[in-house]
Amino acid sequence: MRFGKSPAEGVFVGSSAWEYGVWFQSSSGRYAAQLENRLLLELVPPELAGPVLDVGCGTGTHLFFLSRLGGCGVGIDSSADMLRIAQRRVTSSGTTDIFLVRARAEALPFQDHSFNLVFLVTSLEFFNEPVQALKEAWRVGRGSLSVAVLNRLSLCCLWLRVKMAFQKSLFQSATFYDPWELKRRVQKTGPPKAQVKITWRTTLFSFPVVPLLAQPLLRRIDRLLTYLHWPFGAFLVMWAEVN
């Protein structure tokens, strides 16, 4: 596995980009994607629709789902290797409503207020300038923003930190956030003098490897703990909007 150091490509280059995409095709990856997409959708107000921007779209795992909210979606990523995989998925699906752009999150190539819905899904952790990336996301959106990260308080992050002590991992370059730290960052980077309302939830409370036979039971537990606002899920979603 090769890890990039250039800001233009980030850590997801070469085989690491391929392995990231492959994991989401595994049993555990599909389980995670289902719960993640469900929570992302639940926090979006039902009246919102329109063009969707996925900042740090990677191989397009969440972009394909999120684009349904507005009928079309735009994904940006700095990794050419990740976008190459995403483009193959777009081509094979036959869709004409998903567009991919290579760009840095810190300098989005779009005009102000271009998108009704802006998402950053497990990408903020890897940006060189996360504060600038959040400011850009606010700039191109229309008063709302959805940010999803790996939760520092979760068993999953604990497992990753232990694992990194024994072997090299792409997560060594990641910055993990807890709900309150992320909330402060999202509010601080919002439009000047605006009051930013925050709603957040977590899901995925088990370890990253989820046995197939255990998934139905774990899914019920995940939904219950998500509903109870339990703060220790691996996937933390924060919906922010200007009052």
Model pLDDT, residue 6 = 34
pTM to 2 decimal places: 0.88
Per-domain residue ranges of the chain: 15-242
| CATH topology assigned to domain 15-242 | Rossmann fold (3.40.50)
- Strands (E) across the chain are located at 52-55, 73-77, 98-102, 117-121, 144-150, 196-203, 235-242
Model pLDDT, residue 21 = 60
Model pLDDT, residue 234 = 94
Placement of tokens 């309150």 in the chain: 180
Q: What are the 10-residue block averages of pLDDT along the chain, 243 residues in total?
A: 37 60 73 90 87 93 87 91 91 90 96 96 94 98 96 89 78 89 96 93 82 82 92 96 90
Rounded CA-CA distance 187/122 in Å is 18
